[in-house]
Amino acid sequence: MAAVTTSTERSLNKLAIVGVLIITMIFLAPIYWIASTAFKPRNLATTIPPTVMFQPEISPFVKLFTKRSQLRTAPTPEQYAAAPWWERLVFDGGEKVVRSGRGEVQWSGYPSRFMNSLIVAITSTILAVGMGTFTAYGFSRFKIKGEQDLLFFILSTRMLPPVVVAIPMFLMYRVVGLNDTHWGLIILYTAFNLSFSVWLMKGFMDEIPKEYEEAALVDGYTRMEAFFKIVLPEAATGIAATAVFCFITAWNEYAFALIMTNRRAQTAPPFIPSQVGSGLSDWTVIAAGTFLFLLPVAIFTFLLRNHLLRGMSFGAIRK
Amino acid sequence: MATAVMTTLDPNSRSAARGMSDLTIRNLFIIPTIVFLIVFNIFPLIYSLGYSFTDFRASSPAAANFVGLQNYRELLNDPFIWSNFAITAKYVIVSVVGQVIVGFGVALLLNRDIPLKGLLTTLLLLPMMLSMAVVGLFWKLLYDPSFGIINYTLGLGSFEWLSNPDMALYAVAITDIWMWSPFVMLLSLAGLSAVPKHLYEAAAIDRAGSFYTFFRITLPLVAPILMIAIIFRTMEAFKTFDLAYILTSQPTTEVISIRLYKMAFQEWQTGRSCALAYIVLIMILAITNIYVKYLNKVKER
């Protein structure tokens, strides 16, 4: 190819490089803006022209985790000196940390929502990937009558609009007391991710040569032993990739969480927006909450980069 | 269903002599998943089908009265519901067309000899992995008429995006395009990289123009995968809820999922909302059917 590269071809390529760089910058700008706003002092978050250069602070994160109230009178120098460094940051912003009668710092709603997100996402991922791996093996290795129809049925459950499923689930949960509980959300997310996990894992299972297990069966393994000792280790990468996808889906989900939870089991996606518009919104705190929430997904995206195509196409396109 | 699963395997297979038979294992592996999905997806839908023929309100203790097809009849004759569908259709068209243009365009650029291609591709894919609700919320700040960076960068002064009824739907669609163009790009890249190089070389030898090469070689070969991306995004855009719900509360952005949500959980017209959910469900299943047919078609290649 190199020999036939003409000079127009080369300049076109240069143009493409410039284009890609500009587009990448535009696409990353909103994410950059979230990250930078999370480290800004409050008065620089909403300036015109926008503040790009600033001394980064961690006060938004302190405020994110603590319950605060407006300072009516400035703290006395003794109070200020006695306060730990992070509390001084809150004083500097014209607020004070709310303490209980015994002087314990009160947490904001964020840490518990973040924990709820972790509990629900991790548990539902384990369940969906666990069941999905077995089922995918079944579909991959055994003859099943009406296999295509069953697979279509499994996929179609993934396509249901959340609000459509949420109406009857809400009514049923109300009867059995699962509204606003971790298990209520875990069940919904497991069901939602299960079909995805079956489809993706089936692709990975299909790629493991049958001969591996057949050799093991000849060697005196039972089918179960062959599955656990031969197939599962071979499928480890696929299982990990599927798990990360399921985790991200559950972590990001909004509609079910909005409808099914309101306090005890509320996850971060419905909680973070509910903080906007309550009085004067402090965008640095919202950015800090958003930043912490997006961070795991951003890291996972890099770990998953070679499996993204496969995951996003339900295992249909493998490259 | 149980009988369908119970056939064709030989219970006396080699391995059956030791441990469980293949038949038992197969059923053990598959049936729990099917049962789980039936209990938590199909059963609720049957439950709500029942309610769709009633005037049930979840907010009141009054028992549900059977009203026959009244809910369906009223919904299909309600001009407001049709306007919700029209808004949804407009949203689907704007956002999917936008995603295809941007996504396919970037894929064409990336399909060249670009340094750090892998890194740039991953960076470009980041938006679609993030939470729509949480990132969408932040776009509120970006769109802000007085201190948003969008107006500042584009020099639009204090242009209203989200509080302008004519503009709000486009603003939501722009955010959606930002999030999901990467998806179209990802699939297009897969399609583009699968086009055999020798076809381009042959075209070059025949002195075919780049226009001709694109429409006669590139596009037809990428079309099936692009089609998957388009159908999938159409389906998702049709179901859209998070972004529009969080970004605005304009009546002009009330897509069908938002109407459904309000009917069910704010107005508590439970019976009627179940009927609307069924109308939406049938539409989604139709698109899903087309999608799966295409998936299988591309898989066979």
Residue of A nearest to B174 (CA): A27
Could you give the CA distance from residue A20 to residue B108 in angstroms, rounded to a whole number?
Answer: 10
Q: Taking all residues of chain A, what is their mean pLDDT, rounded to a whole number?
A: 90
On chain A, the residues whose CB falls within 8 A of the CB of B47 are 168, 171-172
pLDDT at B261 over 80: yes
pLDDT for position A72: 81
Least confident segment among A70-84, B33-47, B240-254, B257-271: A70-84
pLDDT for position B5: 44
Spatial neighbors of B178 by CB under 8 A, at least 6 apart, are A27, A30, B127
More confident residue, A97 or B72: B72
pLDDT at B138 over 80: yes
Nearest chain B Cα distance for residue A114, angstroms: 13
> Which of A131, A153, A313 faces B36 most closely, judged by CB atoms?
A131
Q: Which of B7, B37, B295 to mutate to test the interface with A (most CBs of A within 10 A)?
A: B37
pLDDT at A3 over 50: no
> Which of A155, A156, A273 faces B133 most closely, judged by CB atoms?
A273
pLDDT at B16 over 70: no
On chain B, the residues whose CB falls within 8 A of the CB of A298 are 126, 129-130
Average pLDDT over residues B165-186: 96
Nearest Cα to Cα of residue B124 among A317, A292, A247, A30:
A30
B151 part of contact set with chain A, CB < 8 Å: no
pLDDT for position A91: 87
Q: Which of A282, A300, A313 to mutate to test the interface with B (most CBs of B within 10 A)?
A: A313
On chain B, the residues whose CB falls within 8 A of the CB of A310 are none
Nearest Cα to Cα of residue A135 among A215, A192, A186, A196:
A196
Average pLDDT over residues B211-238: 90
On chain B, the residues whose CB falls within 8 A of the CB of A146 are 4
Nearest chain B Cα distance for residue A301, angstroms: 7
B38 part of contact set with chain A, CB < 8 Å: no
> Which of A131, A194, A269 faces B133 most closely, judged by CB atoms?
A269
pLDDT at B14 over 80: no
CB within 8 Å: A317 and B187: yes
pLDDT for position B288: 83
CB within 8 Å: B142 and A30: yes
pLDDT for position A258: 95
Q: Which residues pair with B66 in a beta bridge?
A: B54
> Which of A167, A283, A305 faces B277 most closely, judged by CB atoms?
A167
pLDDT for position A93: 82
CB within 8 Å: A316 and B190: no
> Which of B134, B178, B288 faces A159 most closely, judged by CB atoms?
B288
Q: Taking all residues of chain B, what is their mean pLDDT, rounded to a whole number?
A: 89
Nearest chain A Cα distance for residue B37, angstroms: 6
> Which helix or strand (DSSP H or E) is residue B87 part of?
helix B79-110
Residue of B nearest to A268 (CA): B134
DSSP string, A97-127: E-B-TT-PBPB-SHHHHHHHHHHHHHHHHHH
pLDDT, tens digit (0-9, with 9 covering 90-100), for A128-181: 999 999 999 999 999 988 888 898 889 888 888 899 999 999 999 999 999 999
CB A250 within 8 A of CB A119: no
> Which of B44, B146, B284 faces A169 most closely, judged by CB atoms?
B44
CB B190 within 8 A of CB B103: no
pLDDT, tens digit (0-9, with 9 covering 90-100), for A5-56: 678 878 888 999 999 999 999 999 999 999 999 999 888 888 888 888 888 9
pLDDT for position A42: 86
Q: Give the CA distances from residue B110 to residues A33, A116, A219, A224, B118, in Å, rounded to whole numbers and listed in that order.
A: 25, 39, 49, 46, 10
pLDDT, tens digit (0-9, with 9 covering 90-100), for B17-37: 567 888 899 999 999 999 999
pLDDT for position A152: 85
pLDDT at B292 over 60: yes
**First and final C-alpha spacing in chain B:** 30
Q: Which of B20, B29, B117, B245 to mutate to test the interface with A (most CBs of A within 10 A)?
A: B29
Confidence of residue B89 (pLDDT cuts 50, 70, 90): very high
DSSP state of A279: S
CB within 8 Å of chain A, chain B residues 266-285: 270, 273-274, 277, 280-281, 284-285
CB within 8 Å: A309 and B140: no
Length of chain A: 319
pLDDT for position B3: 41
Give the β-pairing of A95-97 and A68-70.
Answer: antiparallel
pLDDT for position A279: 47
pLDDT at B7 over 50: no
Region of B8 please: left (phi>0), alpha (psi -120 to 50) or beta: left
pLDDT for position A157: 86
Q: Which of B126, B138, B154 to mutate to test the interface with A (most CBs of A within 10 A)?
A: B138
pLDDT at B9 over 60: no
> Which of A167, A276, A305 faces B48 most closely, judged by CB atoms?
A167
pLDDT for position A293: 96
Radius of gyration of chain B (CA): 25
How many interchain CB pairs under 8 A, A with B?
Answer: 302
pLDDT for position B146: 86
DSSP state of A39: T
